[in-house]
Amino acid sequence: MSFRVVVLSSALLAGGLLAQPAADPASVARKSLDAMLAAKYSDASQAFTPDMKTAYPEASMGGLGARIKSFGALQKIDDPTVQKIGPNTIVVLPAHFANENINFRYIVNQNGQIAGMFLLPGAIAWHSPAYSKPGAFTERAVTVGTDWKLPGTLTVPAGAGPFPGVVLVQDSGPHDRDETVYGNKVFRDLAEGLSSRGIVVLRYDNRRKVYPARTDTSGFTVEQEAVDDAVQAAAVLRQQKEVAPKRVYLVGHGLGGYVAPRIAVKDGKLAGIVLLAANVRPLEDLMVQEAVTLGLPANQVTMIKAAAAKVKGLEQQDSDAPPILGRQVSYWLDLKGYDPSADAAKLSIPILILQGERDFQVPMQDFAMWKTALASHKNATLKSFPALNHIFVAGEGKSTAAEYQKAGHVDPQVIQEIAAWVGK
């Protein structure tokens, strides 16, 4: 899953977002932020939900205040952006400090209470990687889907073709077509790098990004989040005059890789699938491991473990229950019993699995499980990269959440591996 730095999130701890805000959520968020910046922590938490107050007593708030001080002197706070998402309102307050720009993102519920607060880095400039050759490809707009229309971008190599084509499927959460992670644009790197090497690439904004209100409702599933649109995107790609329709592949990252075998079965025509940092274990197990790895407070880890256990016990009659771990019960029921490695083992098409050995979100444990499951699959190729993290950017030492805040690029080895594999 794509990492988001969650500083305070009772939305996660309570198992989902709460209800539609009442009066002026922007004022509620700004009042709390001003108190936090003034080190008046009891005032800052005054509008917190009961769960937030329990999880984050004043002592914990002091630790957050110390972190904020490390950003340097406050220079200004921009006007807020306000967006309704289902029954909640998201308020983002961009703050400019001497050393860093930070977006304070608040979730305000229908009672005017703060149900979550996130600290996210401000925008970081992005530049094309060295392996992108601007003169080697062109771009044009496309649309994926009919009911859920998703804007996308097609990158097309120069020349007559026909070329092989690749559909990119994002990790979990609301993602733009570039799969922007702070100052990194994972899918734009892949698109420009692969199209510079003779491959047409289709990428698109996902449903959670384009239709936040429609996807934050009961009944939403992983089929709707990733599977259906990937199949439709593959169909769009096959219709392009520059594409060889029998040479259309899918590249899935994180969640996109997790459900790639399922997409392949539903599509039935893919020439092959590429799994980048794809888990084998259930998502709820990954959430527990990530909470431990990130060193979240013990009470949070305990609550996440309890929520994960609740997910495992869900039955169809629970479909109307409140969300758990930030996802609707329908979503979890859709994944109940799903084993991507077992589905992949039944596929006859080629499979390429790439893994960063420094990935703390989908660790090498899952890569080893893929190896075992596909040991007898004659068309499976697996490769790991010692220096790469979850978004396939190179680094040193233990990968952390802070590493994502630095602008980087997908490692050229990954571009080359995919291009060479598709080119066979």
295 shares its domain with 274: no
Nearest CA to 349 among 250, 419, 244? 250
∠ CA 423-252-287, rounded to 5°: 150
Query: pLDDT (tens digit, 9 = 90+) per residue, 193-244?
Result: 999 999 999 999 999 999 988 887 788 999 999 999 999 999 999 999 999 9
Residue-range definition of the domain harbouring residue 302: 281-332
Are β-strands 380-385 and 351-356 bridged in parallel, bridged antiparallel, or unpaired?
parallel
297 shares its domain with 243: no
Reported confidence tier of residue 23, pLDDT bands at 50, 70, 90: low
355 shares its domain with 252: yes
Q: Provide the token pair at 135.
A: 């003169």
270 shares its domain with 364: yes
383 shares its domain with 270: yes
179 shares its domain with 223: yes
- Establish if 3 belongs to a structural domain: no
Of the segments 10-19, 41-50, 66-75, 250-259, which one has the largest average pLDDT value? 250-259
How distant, in Å, are the alpha carbons of 167, 169, 232, 272 from that of 239? 13, 18, 11, 18
- Establish if 1 belongs to a structural domain: no
- Establish if 376 belongs to a structural domain: yes
231 shares its domain with 343: yes
Total number of domains constituting the chain: 3
170 shares its domain with 260: yes
- Establish if 396 belongs to a structural domain: yes
Q: What is the pTM of this model?
A: 0.77
Helices (H), 70-220: 186-195, 207-210, 212-215
CATH code at position 71: 3.10.450.590
Burial tier of 42 (Cβ tally within 10 Å: 0-12, 13-18, 19+): exposed
Nearest CA to 9 among 303, 397, 217? 303
- Establish if 15 belongs to a structural domain: yes
- Establish if 379 belongs to a structural domain: yes
Query: pLDDT (tens digit, 9 = 90+) per residue, 280-305?
Result: 999 999 999 998 988 888 888 999 99
- b/e per residue 178-195 (b: at least 16 CB within 10 A): bbbbbbbbbbbbbbbbbb
108 shares its domain with 210: no
Query: pLDDT (tens digit, 9 = 90+) per residue, 95-126?
Result: 988 877 888 999 999 889 998 888 887 766 68
Reported confidence tier of residue 130, pLDDT bands at 50, 70, 90: very high
- Establish if 114 belongs to a structural domain: yes
70 shares its domain with 21: yes
Cβ(391)–Cβ(168) below 8 Å: no
Percent of the chain with pLDDT over 90: 67
